[in-house]
Structure 1
Amino acid sequence: MARARNPAHRTALLDAATRVFAAEGLAASTASIARAAGVSTGTLFVYFETKTALVNELYVILKSAMGRAATDGLRPGAGPREQLRSMWDGWIDWAVQDPDRRRALAHLAVAEDLSPQSRQAVQAAYAGTAEVLGPIVAGGPMRQAPLRLVSTLVSAIADATIDDLIAHPDPTGTRSSLAFEAMWRVLALDHAGERSRDPTPTQETS
């Protein structure tokens, strides 16, 4: 007879996996994760048939949570800069408040066994970011770039800022603001420091 499942065990395993992957990377064993969760390795496999299944589920959970953190605070009718700043602040706060989530997600995002289904599952959580970035990029120096490249650059700037703030906390938020200004100039301003007048963006997104 199948063993009864306890939702608390599942939550404990996901929390433990976040901590262990953050500390040890993807080489971490299921035994280490189970031990950190306070359960047996056999119990772990009751909830996740394989380590690959655990990696995929945790990736979807963390990546989607980060996307929601970036977009949940968006206000309808707000200007492009205000929307981008809201998205930026939500993103930074989510990662800095719990560094293990950021470190674990960095490992999970490059896992070789992430499934196409897992990657597709997180896209809905990022639909709002594309809606924010599109109008901003359309009038800036990167208007001819595909949105996937723009998103990669934004992620790179955010990740560098997050790593710096985790290593060197800044309660004033000064460095986060400086990084945001740099990102804004990359996306929205031409070399003269003014919005480009050409509103035609590329349609390539894949």
Structure 2
Amino acid sequence: MARPRTGDKPKDIREATVSEIAATGSTAVSVNKIAARAGLSVGTLYRYHETKDDLLFWVFLEVKRDIHRSMMDAARECVGPAARLRAMWFALVAYGFKAPQEFLMAEMMSAEIRENIRQSGQLRDMQDAVLAEIQAGIDQKVLVQTSVRTIETILGSTAITLARRASLSGSPTGQEELDRIFTLIWRGIARADELPEQI
């Protein structure tokens, strides 16, 4: 068995798991293949994670934390819900461009993970923070009066599409086109008196 590439076993395990999920197109992955990609024995991998489900959830949660952190860090630098939501959307898209396999793996696993995992307090807290930003936009009459989940879907699905396109093509969408895309999205979710130029 080969030695770990970097000596950072958790990082090697995370990268190997993401790569294996990307290669198989499913969370029905082999722990043996993940261990081989990480340059570890299966026994060593199981010292870090008791079961395959534990491993997959750990990687999923690590990626979700990184995505969430990048969005909230971007929002903190802005004032007002319009600017904050714009910064969060661009940070989400940027993460998808920077790490498309991780981004797409997280989206795939979001649809496949069991209900008890979906109820994780950490995941719920991250989602609640994003929904609170959208709710603030509705409450301050920046966004149309509708469900926060509807607006989350409109914003998130576009970011997922852009990340998928970047992953398949090997190159991100240019800034000018991103600006056009966001302007069109904003026109669909903002109140009529909130013009795109104001954000």
**1:97 maps to 2:79:** no
User: Is residue 21–residue 29 contact of structure 2 (8 Å, CA) maintained in 1?
Assistant: yes
Q: RMSD of aligned C-alpha atoms?
A: 2.6
User: Is residue 57–residue 118 contact of structure 1 (8 Å, CA) maintained in 2?
Assistant: no
Change (3 A) 1:50 1:118: farther
**1:120 maps to 2:145:** no
Partner of 1:23: 23
Change (3 A) 1:164 1:178: farther
**1:12 maps to 2:31:** no
User: Is residue 56–residue 114 contact of structure 1 (8 Å, CA) maintained in 2?
Assistant: no
My pick for the range that moved more, 147-156 or 74-83, is: 74-83
Unaligned runs of 5+ in 1: 1-6, 197-206
Tell me the TM-score normalized by structure 1: 0.77
Unaligned runs of 5+ in 2: 1-6
My pick for the range that moved more, 47-56 or 181-190, is: 181-190
Partner of 1:202: none
My pick for the range that moved more, 25-34 or 74-83, is: 74-83
My pick for the range that moved more, 46-55 or 178-187, is: 178-187
Q: Per the alignment, in what secondary structure is the counterpart of residue 122 of structure 1? A: helix
User: Is residue 22–residue 100 contact of structure 1 (8 Å, CA) maintained in 2?
Assistant: yes
Partner of 1:189: 191
Q: Which of these residues, 146, 169, 175, is aligned with residue 173 of structure 1?
A: 175
Q: Distance in 2 between matches of 1:158 and 1:33?
A: 28
My pick for the range that moved more, 147-156 or 23-32, is: 147-156
Partner of 2:55: 54
Change (3 A) 1:9 1:195: closer
Change (3 A) 1:46 1:91: same
Q: Distance in 1 between matches of 2:106 and 2:77?
A: 29
Q: Going by fraction, where is helix more abundant, 1 or 2?
A: 2
Q: Distance in 1 between matches of 2:166 and 2:80?
A: 27
Q: Distance in 2 between matches of 1:80 and 1:9?
A: 40
2:63 maps to a residue whose letter is L
1:178 maps to a residue whose letter is R
User: Is residue 142–residue 187 contact of structure 1 (8 Å, CA) maintained in 2?
Assistant: yes
User: Is residue 78–residue 84 contact of structure 2 (8 Å, CA) maintained in 1?
Assistant: no
Q: Distance in 2 between matches of 1:59 and 1:114?
A: 14
1:43 maps to a residue whose letter is T
| Residue-by-residue CA offset, 1:14-46 (whole Å, 9 max, x unaligned) | 221111112212122111100000011122112
Q: Per the alignment, in what secondary structure is the counterpart of residue 78 of structure 1? A: coil
Change (3 A) 1:10 1:166: closer
**Number of aligned residue pairs:** 186
Q: Distance in 1 between matches of 2:114 and 2:15?
A: 20
My pick for the range that moved more, 72-81 or 45-54, is: 72-81
1:160 maps to a residue whose letter is T
Aligned-residue sequence identity (percent) comes to 19
Deviation at 1:101, TM superposition (A): 0.7
2:14 maps to a residue whose letter is L
